[in-house]
Amino acid sequence: MTKPETEPDKETDDAYRDRIRARFTSIGDWHVNDIYKTIISEFTGIDYARIYIDPTQTPRGPASADALVLFDAGVPGESYLTDVNDHITNGGHHGHGDDLQVKPMTETQHDITAALHVAPGTSATRQTEISAQAENIIRCAFRENTDYDTIKTWPYSRFSMTRLGDELTSRISELTSVEFNTGDIVSGLTIPRLQTLTVTTTEDQY
């Protein structure tokens, strides 16, 4: 089994810190959730911080839990998740009586409209380029690509559309303002995804 293409081989400082912290925890057998997250991370190559286990949920009765994995772009095939689950269930990597299943992160779907206002005199050709770039940045923020180092959606967090608008205006000099049809997106144990994205461009007249 190969690593997901969306997971880079180079480990970030934060990912390394989480992995080392989890390793010390798992050695002491202090927290069963950290042990499982370490097993999944080491087997799949997925960053430890992208694996979530809610200890308050028992989806299949006592001693059961779901490990939800956050992927950047799309969901891996069923065969990939089957391999991970087989490693835990049949490879001797679960506690006695435990029922742990690895699943993709639950998604919420959002219809986003972005109205771009550009400086007077911006050519039609440039407006088309701005619209395409802005769309790509927004899609990156919602984890559909990795083209930009921008804010991104996360579980258990508030995604600020205002900050996203600020990033757009800082990256695209002709933009004077960005208006979204929605305010902040607040997530529980879910990941916001784009259901639809509409980007329009209007030239300011003053």
Most confident of 10-14, 23-27, 43-47, 67-71: 67-71
Say how far apart CA 99 and CA 58 lie, in whole Å: 9
**Where do runs of H (alpha helix) occur along the chain?**
13-27, 32-44, 78-89, 124-141, 161-171
Q: What local confidence, expressed as pLDDT, does residue 21 receive?
A: 59
Q: What local confidence, expressed as pLDDT, does residue 46 receive?
A: 82
Beta bridge partner(s), residue 201: 116
- How confident is the prediction for the chain on average, in pLDDT? 83
β pairing state of 191-203 and 107-118? parallel
Question: Tokens for 138?
Answer: 């927004």
Say how far apart CA 15 and CA 3 lie, in whole Å: 16
For the purposes of burial, counting CB atoms within 10 Å of the CB of 34, is it exposed (0-12), middle (13-18) or buried (19 or more)?
buried
Say how far apart CA 161 and CA 164 lie, in whole Å: 5
Say how far apart CA 40 and CA 174 lie, in whole Å: 45
- Please determine, for residue 70, whether its predicted confidence score (pLDDT) is greater than 50: yes
β pairing state of 191-203 and 175-180? unpaired
